[in-house]
Structure 1
Amino acid sequence: MSGWPMGAELTHANLFLNAWICSRLQEYRPEDNCFSALPFFHTFGQTGMMHTPLMSGSTMHLFYKFDPAAALECFTRERITIAGFVPTMCHYLVHARSNEHYDLSSLRAPIVGGAKMPLELAERFRKRFNRPLMEGYGLTETSPVVSYNIDDPERRAGSVGQPIPYCYVQIVDDQGNPRKAGEPGEVLVRGHNVMKGYWNRPRETAETIREGWLATGDLGYLDQEGYLWLVGVKKPLIIRAGLNIYPPEVERVLMEHPNVQEAGVTGMADPARGEEPAAFVVGEGVDEKSLREFCAGRMGSYKIPKRFFLVESLPKDARGRLDRSRLADLLRERLNP
């Protein structure tokens, strides 16, 4: 949440209870066939698609690398009942072999998480496979599951559901005052799933967990029935294929380049991955190729900006700080001249 990688300390109780409650909610059974191409270093894959099936004695069908055609064949051949996706996977499934029919009638729980699910894509998935996606919400800091739209995925498409048992959600304004139903604010979480803290980061832990409530940095609201709807984030964040990219982290790396004076990074819409990072750079004697090569040895490949724009200056606010709203506007101007 700080914009710099931190280790979230999850206890055995955090992980056990989150997996056990999810297994009861979804009614995992030994006869279930579960599909996953999610990485197990990601908490969605680890808790939702490894711990939970193992706890329930279910069969797991694991793919090292996601391939939409192979996945569809697996669903039909193995009669998959539960599957975990990020939105990017749903995009490729919807567009894979569109002239062929695949029987997904056995799939009772197509679960999607890791990033906000576009409504249009969710509707395309439902129309092609006759199955509504069940969207969930969580964070590494919450083991990860906070809420899950298991009861009403069609009528409340776009909601991430109600909080799971023994997990509580509160919406507050900037002063920490509770918001009424339908009023947006920051999402706070309290319960069995909240982490112990950040590894060797007492200050960041104290800033994030206050009186037992974990400040997620996400913006949303609860409706009258207690369903959670997400509307944005407080801090700059890019979610690429379910993986978090913090613009300040990428900017710091770019600023280490000896010929770069300033750098600003923002999210660029991508139909398959949701978002891709785009960088605006003020510098001399640099080009896209040299910047890309510089980044390659200093950050994960998924964090490297897809586009670099060389500019004379970056937009600033009245206090001289990078104006991220205007930076996003500048990106739209560059992409749609």
Structure 2
Amino acid sequence: MNIAHFLLNSTKSRPKHPVVVFREEPISFEKLTLLVKEKAVGLRKYGIKNNDHVALMMGNKPEYAIAYFALLSLGATVIPINPLFKVNEITYILNDSDAVALIVDEIGIQEVLKSREKLQSMQTIISLQPSEAIVPWSDVRGEPADYFLEPKQLDEIAQIIYTSGTTGKPKGALITHGNIAWMTETAAKMLELTAEDRILVVLPLFHAYAKLQGLLNAVFKGCTMYLEERFIPDVILKRIADYKISIFLGVPTMYTMFINLPQIKELDFSHLRTAGCGGATLPVEIVERVNAAMGVDIGEGYGQTESTVMISCFPPNSEKVHGSVGYPLPGIDLKIVDPSGQEVPVGEVGEIIFRGPNAMKGYYKKEYETEETIKDGWVYTGDLGKQDEKGLLYIVDRKKDIIIRGGYNIYPREVEEVLYTHPQIVECAVVGESDPTFGEEVAAYIVVKESATEEEIMAYCKEKLAHYKIPRKIYFLESLPKNATGKILKAPLKKKTNVNAQ
């Protein structure tokens, strides 16, 4: 089943209902489908066909949705790319994915042009911004009457989503039409979506979380996605109130910024029934403050690129347990295992592994990495976690982020949870720093509201942590490095610690 069916089905049942609202302009299901058909026929004229790999490099705008469903209609495989990427990043993904075409907007066109001579398989570049020797998006047109939907099997590839590359070169996760169809239907059930819901999406659509929980969920269920181009905290907070948003999709950084805005106490969030959080684990302190300020219980979940989107969440009407990321989704098997692959006792920490209809098919052109990640049908996540006697999942840390100080294992997240309770700390990240005596030392990178000293932070931690977990290295920054979805990046901080330790 081609997942572009979702759009065609909802258009039949709700033709006049807005599916996207952008800059206060609504686009109905009927209008979106017409544009998708026109562009699909136009793309076919430019040689794009079934199973071609085509990159999509755009910011949040209606053209993203149009291009995405047009490509899927043709049976093409979509490779989403961050429009802010630079030459080296663009070149690597386009060459690694064997992309034969690229659709790019005005944000990324200049970097694409710089990359052009290095591209090995690229045949056609289509741009929303006219440029010399580039096909203008406005020229990609055809008669909607000539449209047809390419049939696809459930195990055929719909997307190649590149991992963030925090542990090396990004790898292209092969996500099938079946993966996306199952995950969309399951996510809609978990959110208890109705056709009257309003979903605000400011997270970038090239990210799997925003695309599925926002765009695909809206298209599947016949509801409306309010699409925003940029995350400006006070603007977005007001939009949630003014547009009577019922579902907001966020990441931890966004909520951290929200609770520091004075107007959060003045706005009406009574219509907001779900505030999702993905991309990273949200500190308990922040969850409690958001709940108090906005009157909404944040629905934390857990997933990764290799799981299409989600692995676990809290089911509808279930009691939220702060610090947990919920139960495995219905239909997914999950285990916590030791380094030998043996399941550990309840409550003990181990690596999270899963299997189910959301599991990727593998990594594109990377047999070794696929075999290292998928073993006997189980996907090894590289994340450390534990389950309680009820089956609730708790994320402890990334396997590769553990700090080993003098033989003691230290989970950075545990230290971060304590730091976030300090009244002056806005954001923090804890990493290991090389140390000649202990092997590694605990280093904390901190953003504060007004002022704080190293001594104050250490004294605060001393009251709440075992002595070996206390950060001995504290660095104050104006901001922490983040990726496009607002997830704090630890790799640049680890590089800093290596320099500091020398």
Judging changes above 3 Å, is the alpha-carbon distance between structure 1 residues 202 and 70 closer, same or farther for their aligned structure 2 residues? same
User: What is the correspondence of 1:68-217 to structure 2 with a 5 Å cutoff?
Assistant: 68-98=233-263, 100-151=265-316, 155-217=320-382
2:199 maps to 34
**CA displacement at 1:304 relative to structure 2:** 5.2
Aligned partners of 2:190 and 2:316 also within 8 Å: no
Q: Counterpart of 2:111?
A: none
In 2, the alpha carbon distance for the partners of 1:212 and 1:133 equals: 32
Aligned equivalent of 2:392, options 210, 216, 227: 227
| Alignment correspondent of 1:292 | none
Contact 1:87 1:112 in 2 (8 A): yes
Tell me by how many angstroms 1:154 deviates.
Answer: 5.8
Contact 1:162 1:226 in 2 (8 A): yes
Q: Could you tell me how far 1:153 is from its partner in structure 2?
A: 7.0
Cα distance in 1, alignment partners of residues 443 and 229 from structure 2: 28
Cα distance, 1:310 vs. partner?
Answer: 7.9
Return 5+ residue gaps in structure 1 as ranges. 240-246, 248-263, 273-301, 315-337
Structure 1 stretches (4+) deviating beyond 6 angstroms? none
d(CA) in 2 for partners of 1:11, 1:169: 21
- Does 2:215 correspond to 1:50? yes
The higher-RCO structure (CA 8 Å, 6+ apart) is 1
For 2:389 and 2:224, the matched residues in 1 are separated by: 38
8 Å Cα contact 1:33-1:61 kept in structure 2: yes
Identity of aligned residues (%): 33
Find the partner of 1:61 among 219, 226, 251.
Answer: 226
Cα separation, 1, equivalents of 2:183 and 2:388:
24
Q: Secondary structure at the match of 2:355?
A: strand
Distance 1:68 1:153 in 2: 29
Q: 1:162 to 1:310 in 2, by over 3 A?
A: closer
CA deviation string 1:136-190 (max 9, x = no partner) = 1000000011011245776511110001111111111111111122111100010
SS, match of residue 134 in structure 1: strand
Describe the shift of the 1:227–1:151 C-alpha distance in structure 2 as closer, same or farther (beyond 3 A): farther
Q: CA RMSD in A?
A: 3.0
5+ unaligned residues in a row in structure 2: which ranges? 1-165, 403-411, 414-430, 432-439, 449-488
Deviation string for 1:272-302 (max 9, x for gaps)? 9xxxxxxxxxxxxxxxxxxxxxxxxxxxxx7
| Contact 2:237–2:264 (Cα < 8 Å) also in 1 | no
Alpha-carbon offset, residue 307 of structure 1? 8.2
- CA distance in structure 1 between the aligned counterparts of 2:283 and 2:216, rounded to whole angstroms: 28
Distance in structure 1 (CA, Å) of the matches to 2:290 and 2:335: 31
The normalised TM-score by structure 1 is: 0.71
SS, match of residue 15 in structure 1: helix
After superposition, what is the alpha-carbon deviation per residue over 1:300-334, rounded to whole angstroms, capped at 9, x for unaligned? xx7755984685975xxxxxxxxxxxxxxxxxxxx
Which 10-residue stretch deviates more, 203-212 or 226-235? 226-235
Q: TM-score under structure 2 normalisation?
A: 0.49
Distance of 2:500 and 2:320 partners within structure 1 = 49
Equivalent pair of 1:32/1:59 in contact (CA under 8 Å): yes
Q: Which amino acid aligns with 1:133?
A: I
Instruction: Say if 1:35 and 1:62, in contact at 8 Å, map to a contact too.
Output: yes
Please tell me whether Structure 1 or Structure 2 has the larger radius of gyration of its CA atoms: 2
